[in-house]
Structure 1
Amino acid sequence: MQIPHLVAIFSEGTQTAKEVAYVIAGRLIQQYRNFCLSKGINFTRMDSVRPHDHTTLFCSAGMQQYKPFFPDPSHIGTVANSQACLRMGDLDEIGDGTHFLHFTMLGLFSFREMTVGDAIDFWLEFLGTLGLVPDHVTIHPDRLEEWTPLYRGRIPIIPDDECTWSDGSITGYCTEFYKDGIEIGNIVNPLGTCIDVGFGAERLDMILNGTPPADALATLRDTVTTIMESGYRPGNKEQGYILRKLLRRIHVMGGTLDHPYFEQEVERQERLRSKYLRLRERYPDMTPEWWFDTHGIDVADMQARNGN
């Protein structure tokens, strides 16, 4: 089953990955929403990457807004969502075809209601509506004997001792789903009593439709646009600093973005570049840390831009 989508043309000043992201969201999210509602599960959609607590600068997982419910034994129920996420830890891996920096997570969260077996059946059924059958799944060896029967021979199973998850005090074993060598999602069993599921919409679209992976510049443009649409502007601290850093990286890589914030950052970088070229012979032995702390100059970026 093919999900209609636009083919991105990643060129200067034309169609961007953002347009493709909207189509992915519009198709997959709608199908997932309808599936959840057909099961009597409430669904919410979150397009902003603003965090739901103070543990991260941006929302990094669909479960973030539900974290207080996991350890609360009085909270019982099941919800589903789609959540725009941003993980800066993937910055150096963007462009490899599997890391998106900014992505949409399709989530299912159950607090002392659904079992692991229920979640497995739910997701295999939903993936089936998309015409997708995982090549294999992984299970932690400590749960291999207990969880293998839950798949009822439908999917090959591979033991993996890295199938664990932790968010501070909340931990759990998990089982991961793979297609064409790519992890497309996982089911976590936090505290042994709850369910936390996350599947990446962009990875699903890539598998289902053979969508070409975005190059690094297209991914960066998509990410900074999402950050700006979430209400942030360039600055010297926290989210503003991250936005400025990504705008700077687009400039250093030779890319462009049709937005005043990008134009302002280019002007700022050109001023810093002139300052660096003027001062570097005067301070030849100063460390990159000194340049950044004293003048706000990222030496690595200057050298990359200057080619020396």
Structure 2
Amino acid sequence: MDTEHVVRTFVEYYEEHGHRRITGSTLLPPPGDPVLFTTSGMHPLTPYLEGRPHPLGRRLVNVQRCLRTTDLDEVGDSTHLTVFEMLGTWSLGDYEGSRSLDWGYRLLTEGLGVAPGLLHATVFGGDEQVGPDTDSLRLWQEHGVPVELTVEDNWWQNGPVGPCGPDSEIFLWTGDTPPESTPGRDDRWVEVWNHVMMRHRRLDDGRLVPLPQRNIDTGLGLERLASLLQGKPSVFECDVFAPWRRSVPALWPLDEPSLRLVCDHLRSAVVIVGDGVRPANTGRGYVLRRLVRRVLTVLWRDDPSRGLDDLPRELVTHTLDHFGQDVDPGLVRRVLVEEEQRFGRLLERGRQVLSRPRFSGPLGEDDYHYLHDTHGLPRDLVTTLREGGYSRT
């Protein structure tokens, strides 16, 4: 079952249950949102989760591309990506969590063919302010799905203040043995779907007050689910990465961890550029810059002659088409190549500056500020250069 089939099955199932499909936004969050990038499908829907009527009604479904900078250091394992797609459903003050979980269970087992015995759930066990989520617990028990009760791991909030509530997560067993233990004790249980019962708002003083309406917000990582349904050991081996895994090793022979990082970061950089971001020293542009520099660090480590001008146009085109971005692939490649050239010049200047006697010993804060403000050398680049990184010799 390829990713397009998964998306079609997911969306059509919820449309049959009265949901209207909404168009996903770009990676750029709506004005006023403090995050750099859209991190979940709920971001564009925040006003409606807080009570504003949505023009398409109370039941919604969509596919949203997301980027989570908090996951950058996790990229390269079997489940994390920089840019990924989230399948989402919402009830805006309509149905309750037990119905959402029931539909989720039936879609996984009947629509997508997951064996019920491979599922495990976690449920909010209650704390000093909110009692245990007995409705979700009862639902899972009725379906015969084992349940683990937690507190912090099953409480969702988007920050220290704002909408929040208990959640129930669905896990799929990925081990070679029959299922054992629980998600909290065995990482062979992989989370595939989170159902948030968004009922509260946390105030500045920590108190909880009811939201104007009781919402349901669910999120399901498409690439993670697809890799599990396809029997693949990692998200990098599901069908969306097939063109990358065919082309990149032939172009740049790499070990598996390096291959994953290069494929992920270049693919993500293409999507970010496609959404209008350009390299910069701050904000979104700096995230893009970090991705490109990490790729170049890996490529140059084994062969200094490697460069992004070798990146096949077909990979850029495939990625832009997959994400529905109407952007010239040639423009995207030029942005990446120009950033590579800029980085090369910066490295040359950085080595020259750091070779001065003034910087031969330990660096203090004044040194870092001077290097940044006078020579445009960020702290992380200075640190890596002094440790012998970014070598092209």
TM-score, scaled relative to structure 2: 0.68
Within the candidate set 318, 340, 343, 1:266 is matched to 340
Query: Whose Rg is larger?
Result: 2
For residues 54-100 of structure 1, what are the alpha-carbon distances to aligned partners after superposition, in whole Å with 9 as ceiling and x for unaligned? 22111100011111122328777111111000001100110011111
Query: Which residues of 2 match residues 43-58 of structure 1 at below 5 A?
Result: 43-46=21-24, 48-53=26-31, 54-58=33-37
Within the candidate set 249, 262, 267, 2:294 is matched to 249
For residues 5-61 of structure 1, what are the alpha-carbon distances to aligned partners after superposition, in whole Å with 9 as ceiling and x for unaligned? xxxxxxxxxxxxxxxxxxx2x332222121122112101242621213422111100
Secondary structure of the 2:349 match is helix
- Shift of the alpha carbon at 1:182? 0.9
Q: Pick closer, same or farther for the CA change 1:125–1:209 going to 2, 3 Å.
A: same
Matched to 1:201, the amino acid is: L
Larger RCO, structures 1/2 (Cα 8 Å, 6+ apart): 1
Residue of structure 1 in register with 2:375 after alignment: 295
Query: Which residues of 2 match residues 92-111 of structure 1 at below 5 A?
Result: 92-111=73-92
Within the candidate set 123, 128, 131, 2:104 is matched to 123
Within the candidate set 191, 201, 205, 1:183 is matched to 191
Residue of structure 2 in register with 1:7 after alignment: none
Q: Pick closer, same or farther for the CA change 1:41–1:74 going to 2, 3 Å.
A: closer
Q: Comparing 259-268 with 69-78, which one deviates more in the overlay? A: 69-78
| Residue 120 of structure 2 corresponds to residue 136 of structure 1 | yes
For residues 161-203 of structure 1, what are the alpha-carbon distances to aligned partners after superposition, in whole Å with 9 as ceiling and x for unaligned? 1200112311100011111211111100111621010010011
Residue of structure 1 in register with 2:139 after alignment: 150
Q: Structure 2: how far apart are the matches of 1:186 and 1:293?
A: 44
Q: Structure 2: how far apart are the matches of 1:71 and 1:45?
A: 20
Unaligned runs of 5+ in 2: 127-131, 174-188, 201-213, 237-259, 301-306, 312-332
Q: Structure 1: how far apart are the matches of 2:53 and 2:353?
A: 63
Give the total of aligned pairs. Answer: 286
Secondary structure of the 2:87 match is strand
Q: Structure 2: how far apart are the matches of 1:289 and 1:264?
A: 26
- Shift of the alpha carbon at 1:135? 2.1
Q: Pick closer, same or farther for the CA change 1:131–1:290 going to 2, 3 Å.
A: farther
Q: Comparing 246-255 with 57-66, which one deviates more in the overlay? A: 246-255
Residue of structure 1 in register with 2:389 after alignment: 304
Q: Structure 1: how far apart are the matches of 2:165 and 2:370?
A: 43
Matched to 1:306, the amino acid is: S
Q: Pick closer, same or farther for the CA change 1:138–1:289 going to 2, 3 Å.
A: farther
CA RMSD, Structure 1 to Structure 2 (Å): 2.2
Moved over 6 A (4+): 73-76
CA contact (8 A) 1:47 1:83 kept: yes
Within the candidate set 276, 300, 305, 2:350 is matched to 276
Residue of structure 2 in register with 1:69 after alignment: 48
CA contact (8 A) 2:261 2:295 kept: no
| Residue 222 of structure 2 corresponds to residue 201 of structure 1 | yes
User: What percentage of aligned pairs have identical amino acids?
Assistant: 25
- Shift of the alpha carbon at 1:210? 2.4
Residue of structure 1 in register with 2:150 after alignment: 160
- Shift of the alpha carbon at 1:296? 2.1
Q: Structure 1: how far apart are the matches of 2:125 and 2:75?
A: 31
Residue of structure 2 in register with 1:40 after alignment: 18
Unaligned runs of 5+ in 1: 5-23
- Shift of the alpha carbon at 1:288? 4.2
- Shift of the alpha carbon at 1:222? 1.4
Q: Pick closer, same or farther for the CA change 1:241–1:77 going to 2, 3 Å.
A: same
Secondary structure of the 1:106 match is strand
